[in-house]
Amino acid sequence: MNHGVSLQLDHYACMVDILGRAGLLLEAGELISRMPMKPDSVVWSVLLSSCRKYGESQLAKLAADKLKELEPGNSLGYVQISNIYCSGGSYNEAGLIRDEMNGSRVRKEPGLSWIEIENRVHEFASGGRRHPQREAIYAKLYSLIGKLKGVGYVPETSLALQDIEEEHKQEQLYLHSEKLALVFALMSEGSLRCGGGVIRIVKNIRICVDCHNFMKLASDLLQKEIVVRDSNRFHHFKNRACSCNDYW
């Protein structure tokens, strides 16, 4: 049936997204191959995100390669496929991707998070070692981690980018910038003015699976609504759930 709609790239990107969300990755790939116009970076990045969610490395490699061709200076393709390899334990392949990235002089954007307390914006980088209150932040963070482990938190160590000891993998995840920002907000709770006690964090890149799980559990344990705006969307965490339904 012809509804007088002229199909554009955006329509195809939406369909690829819908198929990908449903786990129909082969169908999404076939749709892309039948497109009457050349797929753009949006189409390939949507497919790549779906491949990450379902651990489909072969199709992800194709999507990542296409992204690198279209946007050679963009780190997204490199980082996503590297993360997929790490999640599957393929650290050698992940290392090759990192070497390729370095050889092409493509830099991964460092993860940063911001939170506003009393009209002052505080910035956190992963590790948080430059923050003047880092020792107090670390102490509060590890206390919270211990409590969250008691209600089901298990660090997603498959996301660690190196083949290192399990303990060190966990350390990498614990010190992500959004976790540090959350803890700082809790430390500043007496002076927190974020509208109804809602904790609002802004992050410059996509929130990882581990931090996403962490925020869901923390929202329930702390009985607080936590809002994280990452590079993809707003995540509203409340009562162990997120508004994105675990797809981002």
The answer to the question of residue 3 being in a domain is no
Nearest to 226 by CA among 235, 162, 131, 133: 235
Which helix or strand (DSSP H or E) is residue 237 part of?
A: strand 234-238
For position 75, which CATH number holds? 1.25.40.10
Last residue of a domain, one of 74, 103, 132: 103
- Cβ atoms of 50 and 20 within 8 Å: the answer is yes
Question: Residue 208: which residues within 8 A CB-CB, separation 6 or more?
Answer: 156, 159, 173, 176
- Cβ atoms of 119 and 127 within 8 Å: the answer is no
67/137 same-domain check:
no
Give the residue numbers spanning the domain of 207. 112-242
| Residue-level pLDDT, tens digit, the chain, 248 residues | 556 678 899 999 999 999 998 999 999 999 999 999 999 999 999 999 899 888 898 999 999 999 999 998 888 888 888 888 887 778 888 889 889 988 888 888 888 999 999 889 999 998 878 888 989 999 999 999 999 999 999 998 776 655 555 566 777 789 999 999 999 999 987 544 444 579 999 999 989 989 999 999 999 999 999 999 998 899 999 999 999 988 87
232/121 same-domain check:
yes
Total structural domains within the chain: 2
Last residue of a domain, one of 53, 70, 103: 103
122/222 same-domain check:
yes
224/118 same-domain check:
yes
The residue to which tokens 């009393």 are assigned: 118
